[in-house]
Amino acid sequence: MSVPVLVNAGGGTARGLGDRCAGEVEKAFAAAGLSVEVRMLPGEAIGAAAAALADRALVVVGGGDGTLGSAAGELARGGAALGILPLGTRNHLARELGVPLDLGAAAKLIAARPIRRIDLARANGRAFVNNASIGAYPELVEERDRRDAPKWLATLPATWAVLKRLRHHRLRLTLAGREQPVLTPLLFVGNNRYALDAGRLGAREALDDGVLCVFAVAAKRRRDLVGFALRTVMGRADPQRDFALIGDTAELTVDGHPASVAVALDGEVTRLPLPLRFTVEPGALGVVAPLEGDGATA
């Protein structure tokens, strides 16, 4: 039986390849000795397509982190392993797992089929593989996507627009059975711990520690927030000064006065009702990736 390959036709690399994308993917897998069935789909259709295939042993998904997240939640429920074709813009999960960014090399890895188990996080049942955020970042994504320009070009004016109308969110966080009110321009929830150290910013030490990493940025004026961003990029963020809350937890509840809130899940913005319940499912997702240790396939 051919392995299904679901490709987000609007994803970074796939969009650049255009009509050649399906043929290039088929060629890469043929060279790796694997028979595939390629389906070019709009990004919003990936989750439903993955759900329909979740009883298969392996489903390959081509796209960025948001695409992978939308498919991962469905595949984990059905027990299918996720093969990654890193066809997005940044491909954070692929990089952290050591999945080759070259199409041919990624196809060869998938054909070899080493399976790792990693954690999967959810917000009100919606899966994410990397992180979720409330506040300035989802606002930036929405502002950027309204502009008729490539993402990298639209990011700077979008950032300036968000800073000009900077909003602080009054939220009630409950973790480890304790409620804490926070006033923050940005709440970040990571699937496992994210580093703030110089040279490792945005990296995770592990993908299978079974914890959520929570950062609530302290309330700041616009100019102070710019300083915080610069310190963070340099790996010099001050936990006491820069954050209203930092912590690890197995479960987090976020509540507030609005009936719903914009949430960025792996960079894709959606609106979810409050309260938000964040959970982590240890080892819930099988992914095709280079193995740690002796290289034995799990």
Question: Which residues form the catalytic set?
Answer: 268
Nearest to 157 by CA among 147, 167, 172: 147
Nearest to 132 by CA among 60, 198, 69: 69
β strands within 98-224, DSSP E: 115-123, 126-128, 131-135, 169-175, 178-184, 186-191, 212-217
Backbone angles phi, psi at 120, to 5 degrees: -130, 130
Task: Measure the CA–CA gap between 261 and 264, rounded to whole angstroms.
Answer: 10
Task: Measure the CA–CA gap between 246 and 242, rounded to whole angstroms.
Answer: 10
Contact (Cβ atoms closer than 8 angstroms) between residue 40 and residue 25: no
Partnered with residue 230 across adjacent β-strands are: none
| The dihedral formed by the CA atoms of 134, 140, 144 and 150, expressed in degrees to the nearest 10 | -90
Task: Measure the CA–CA gap between 39 and 41, rounded to whole angstroms.
Answer: 6
Q: Could you give the residue ranges of the DSSP H alpha helices within 98-214?
A: 103-112, 136-145, 151-164
